[in-house]
Structure 1
Amino acid sequence: MNDVIIIGGGPAGYTAALYSSRAQLDTLVIEKMFSGGQMATADVMENYPGFEEPIGGSDLALRMEKQARKFGTVVLNDEVLELDLDSHIKKVKTKNNTFESKTIILCMGASPKMLGLPNEEKLRGSGVSYCAVCDGAFFRGKTVAVVGGGDTAAEDALYLARFCPKIYIIHRRDAMRATKLLQNELCCNKKIEFLWDSVVEEIEGKFGVEGLKIKNVKTGKLNSISVDGLFVAIGLNPNTSLVKNKVELNKDGYVITDDRMRTNIPGVFAAGDLREKYLRQIITAAADGASAAYTAEQYINENMKYFK
């Protein structure tokens, strides 16, 4: 039986693993895909403390994993299918095994939101993308559009400017929400054109993206632009389907915790982007992970009688 099972190998998960392993707790991280989660899709990060020079998200993810492993964390690539959280000893069922643990830390993160347009899913991977770092190089020399107004949209546009001669930024408001530093970089880049007060009404193309129909939300006027790719950066949906109807969620599906990362179920904690909170950044996910691990250790010490 494990002391701690952490579901998800992003910055929250690996920080929790580091803290719990260093506390001499038997720690297992289960990650169904690759280390880093959303962090691994960031090409360059300049705001993570301790790195004077920019660092890539995948590089930082691998460093976090390596550090956690150094202190004894076991990492398993598998998909969690079901959780039994009703007793003191929790059960985690994966595709290949069933594990028991004294505590669970939920770190499944969040996934990009979709626009919800009829042709969107059909053209996903054929011109529609949710990760500029993953797919940007495929659009070298082509015209693309980015939908969104936050930091991710700004970073995506700047990254795509390395490959593409023309990038449209489509935003439903008349100003970006991105940080001033990013906004300044966008405005200085002659490859980038803003389409303010606008939304995508239709993605045109049968076998690949050929163009977009754009609607001005203030005037109602429709316009068409020719693009070869569409990058969607409009926010996140929490990956909480695994714990729906088990752990208390807010109206948007995020896990509700207190400031010690405790959910409504004793012995179950949550950290990172899937948690209800104000700011979702790598550093806040890491902070959540540290708090969750520390609280999990306290919980184990206080409930030893149930684990004998």
Structure 2
Amino acid sequence: MPYHANYATLELPAQLKNKTMHMFTLSDDGPSEFSVAMSQADAQGNDSLINFAQRLAAELEQALPAFRLISTIERTLDDTPAIELSYCWHSDGNTMHQRQAITMLPRTEAGDVQALLIAATCLKPFTDEWNAAFDGMLGSIKLRHKMAPVIGEAASTVPARASTVFALSERRRTLHAFADHDEACRKTDAHEVEHEAWAFFDAAGTPLHPNFVASDNGTSRRKAGSYVLEKRPERAAPTLRAQLYQASMFVAGSAAVRLSSIADVQAMLDQSAEG
């Protein structure tokens, strides 16, 4: 069968099994504070996603000392159903922490079933920085079997929807993209917003300002999600295009967001400015 790598394509003999693993680390030698591995694993004939994830968790519990499953959540990868396992275990006196996303791949021509596994590992509990880094990677995933080009149709250079809302954290140097206003308000902590830790923008890069519409028992502490975003032309504020340099990490907060990098956002804003 044909095998595609970054720099080459080759034909694999049918009797060879593909055990490819892609590993990304922060350093060349020694343990890495944060690393990501991507691999494929054989599934059983009629495996469902949930069955595969449950069996994987059971195998990890048998193989890893002091294994503890922290959470199992449903999510998507490129609009495809996925499950994420979060767990920890002991290794050489350390407690290792891992988040692993799993999705099923289409059957091969021979009828084989495989799962795609993407795992992030930390030597310590995940920080906001490494959670955001891994979320950004998962949000940028484009599954190869879904990328077949449509003949005569050019790829869009501006994949964002008009409803897209951006949230910029100068402190974290992170830019989040959400499908719409509602998602941005639900997924961005209201207390941080109240303390001006986030700057919001619409799809054209125009500033949006939070308006807190409800309080918690009359106190100054608002309930999460109790604000809305609105334009206020009377308040002078820099555009996203002017502040984009502050972002070094991109996170797609929703599978509906078709942007995958800061470069995509830059191209979208440049085209909007030219228009």
More strand by share: 2
Q: Higher RCO, 1 or 2 (CA under 8 Å, sep at least 6)?
A: 1
**TM-score, reference length from structure 2:** 0.25
More helix by share: 1
**TM-score, reference length from structure 1:** 0.24
